[in-house]
Amino acid sequence: MASIFHPFLSAYLLLLLPLVVAQSSAGDIGVGSSIEATPDAKPWVSPSNDFAFGFHQLETNNDLFLLAIWYYKIPSRTIVWYANATRPAPTRSKVELTADRGLVLSDPQGQLIWRSVFAIRDIAFARMNDTGNFVVYGSGSEQLWESFKNPTDTMLPTQVIRRGGVLSSRHKGSNFVKGRFQFRLLADGNAVLNTINMESNLSYSPYYISETFDQANSSNSGFQVRLDEDGLFYVLRANNQRFSLNSEDVVPSADYYHRVTLTFDGVLALSRYPKSPTASNRNWSVSTTIPDNICTTRANKYGSGTCGYNNICTLKADKRPQCNCPPGYSLSDANDEYGNCQADFMQGCEADASSSRGDLYDLVELQNTDWPSSDYEVISPCTVNDCKAYCLQDCLCIVAEYNKGECFKKTLPLPYGRQDAQVNTIAFVKVRKAEFAQKNPPIISTVYEKRYRNSLMILISVFLGSSVFVNFVFVGVLCLGSSFLYHRKIKRNHSNRNGIQSSLRYFNYKELEEATNGFEEELGRGSFGIVYKGIIKTGSEDPTQVAVKKLDRVVQDMDKEFRTEVNVIAQTHHRNLVKLLGYCDEGQSRMLVYECLSNGTLASFLFGDLKPSWNQRTQIAMGIARGLCYLHEECSPQIIHCDIKPQNILLDDYYDARISDFGLSKLLGIDQSCTNTAIRGTKGYVAPEWFKTVPVTVKVDVYSFGVLLLEIVCCRRNVLMDGGEEEKAILTDWACDCFSEGTVDALVENDAEALGDKMKLERFVMVALWCIQEDISLRPSMKKVLLMLEEIIMVPALPLPCPSYISA
């Protein structure tokens, strides 16, 4: 019997042999294998233990993890690839090798965070290779997906970048979100370094070009960028000639690890690390930097360069940039040394005009310093002293630069600042003298009062030295003038006696009735009254269009509360809020007078026949977020809006968003931070806690903003009543389903602009879903919402929300 089966068994084993060998190699990962995101999770390691694939715990938040590849034998973890930078995985998330989708990263609730994208095929196994390349193999041993073809900021030996390939920098050293710099191999064969516009991903002109485009014979242009095992870094031409990018001799791979990294400050660095545990210097050492001096590279027409606007770049010994603000300036964000600088004093034509002194400024001299792309005027020939004088006399001039008999006047903002021995320019930075270095210009009324006192002293002197007749005439004029000033002061202080600050104009009922032509033209209706269009005439000035809000739900006998709350609103000044011009509290009438904006409501703009551009929509969303952030965190006391919806967002001449009706909820008695008042707001935007016996906080506005943000993204109303597809009837539910299924594209359908900006689209949807969490404690503050929208902080992975059906 054994002799009969032996040939068949041998043949069967021979057929199985390739598969057995393929799936039993060291470093292979079988289908169903997984790693859980915990601090002590064991990674998948390459056969030589050189590289590891697994979870990296973020320094900025120990509860979040990045799926990454790193050098396993190097004590200080050096990450060479990462997957989910915009959406870090929370603790207990899991990455698994599945049979049909490859690597799948999901959160503890099983919702998709990231996956290796390729056409769905039968998967046999995956392998962490000794080259640092993680590969997913199909059943025929074909490579379905590999990390080398999906690079982040690092290139490893044997890795190839083909035409169209890109390395993208990090946002900061420990922030893995995509930054401003790119290394690309263009279609023409040139390898370039360039910055991008973060809002639109638009690539700016290069600040480094390899010049590997062959004009005489384009077929010999560069077609690959390679890093060989021994660290030789080059552009390979089509005729197999190499254009070397190394500045030093290479060293063998047997002794050193090699890598090329695009750093967060825009330097492409080729570095090496000794493999021997007994080596004297066990650190990464840089052998080549591209460009050689990033501070003195060509200035671009757009962007700010390595350092922010008004900042100055100097090169350190390791050929990495250091940024410093000029004298009299400080960082806009103290935590971002590479960011923008702003003046510590008021400057410019308007600020200078408010002072009677002409010698407000000194000039601080900076040798070998230049901002090369911000000239608005050149004077030639010119001396150094004349150059300085010209700048001091010109209120537009912020910096004057002198070079070989020429004077260049510059104004803000100042991009591409650099200080280097190669720069032959002397810069003179205008700063306020110490005695005039106030941060704000003097109040105009104070200036007038000072002038009035001076004039009065002169008149008294004349009076004491004049004849009887002149004195008689003078006394008459003085009495008339005093009477005029007295009545003007009485009118000005009318509001003060009623507890309202004088910056607001007081209107009586008759004035507003005439301004609105008997409350004839209605602009809209809100939760607290009707808005009418009006025209206010103010003496010789042109008539001003206004919106008059006639409150119809204000409780009687609350004059004191009304005045207090109007005073709070009067002190709000923000570009994303509609400005309150005046008020009326005559008898039982309570009215508020606002500026009238030309482009109407966001509702008519968003839900009209023409779809607004993606860029316009995202800018509007961030404007609304800034306005709410101001109301919640910068006003004292806080102002809860309670009725955020498209009808309460107005658009100015430039289509910037302005929140209207802010503070009206407070006029009706809401506490400074919370309330147990009856439900306010509009169906579809009302937070679930309004229906519960819990205090209402600023988080009700966060919820409403989340709904509004989805409407802005999708250009449709939250609730559709036209009997369309049932699963799309409630936008919050549909958006939640689309996100959980990885089909966010469906929310914007044929919007090519939005589809081309996939990262921002996903970020905005994720922020919206955080905002509409039913659990109040999970909703972020508006400050955090704004930072996430602006990509300053990362959006955490979502515990998938269950939007409130009651609200919808």
Find the angle CA(686)-CA(634)-CA(444) to the nearest 5 degrees. Answer: 130
> What are the φ/ψ torsions at residue 382 (nearest 5 degrees)?
-160, 150
Q: Of how many residues is the chain composed?
A: 808
E strands, 147-202, are 154-155, 160-162, 166-172, 175-185, 191-196
Q: How many CA atoms lie within 13 A of 29 on its CB side?
A: 27
Contact 182, 196 (CB under 8 A): yes
Closest Cα partner for 388 from 374, 417, 408, 412? 408
Q: Which two tokens stand for residue 651?
A: 């658009």
Contact 126, 107 (CB under 8 A): no
DSSP-assigned letters across all residues of 714-780? HTS-SB--S---GGGSBHHHHHHHHHHTT-GGGGTTT-HHHHTTHHHHHHHHHHHHHHT-SSGGGSP
Contact 804, 96 (CB under 8 A): no
Q: How many CA atoms lie within 13 A of 148 on its CB side?
A: 23
**Residue listed under structure tokens 């030589």:** 48
Virtual CA dihedral for 226, 228, 232, 233, nearest 10 degrees?
20
Is residue 550 a known part of a binding site? Answer: yes
Give Cα separations from 492 to 387, 445, 486, 505, 506 (angstroms).
Answer: 47, 12, 10, 8, 9
> What are the φ/ψ torsions at residue 496 (nearest 5 degrees)?
-60, -40
Contact 364, 429 (CB under 8 A): yes
Cα-to-chain-centroid distance, residue 545 = 34
- List CB contacts of 627: < 8 A, sequence separation 6 or more: 574, 576, 577, 657, 658, 659, 662
d(CA 405, CA 443): 42
Here the contacts of 491-500 (C-beta below 8 Å, separation 24 or greater) are 498/563, 498/585, 499/560, 499/563, 499/564, 499/567, 500/563, 500/566, 500/567, 500/570, 500/583
Closest Cα partner for 349 from 428, 415, 412? 412
Contact 400, 385 (CB under 8 A): no
Contact 647, 578 (CB under 8 A): no
What residues does 114 pair with on adjacent strands?
Answer: 105
Give Cα separations from 111 to 90, 104, 116, 119, 297 (angstroms).
Answer: 12, 10, 15, 21, 46
Q: Which two tokens stand for residue 807?
A: 């609200």
3-state helix, strand, coil in the chain (%, to 5): 25, 25, 45
**Residue listed under structure tokens 């507003």:** 512
Phi-psi map region of 663: left, alpha, beta (phi>0 left; psi -120 to 50 alpha): left
d(CA 271, CA 249): 12
Indicate the SS3 state at residue 567.
Answer: helix
Enzyme catalytic residues: 643
Cα-to-chain-centroid distance, residue 161 = 30
What's the N-to-C CA distance of the chain in angstroms? 75
Q: Which two tokens stand for residue 223?
A: 């077609």
d(CA 222, CA 236): 5
Point out the annotated binding site. Answer: 550
Point out the annotated binding site for ATP. Answer: 550
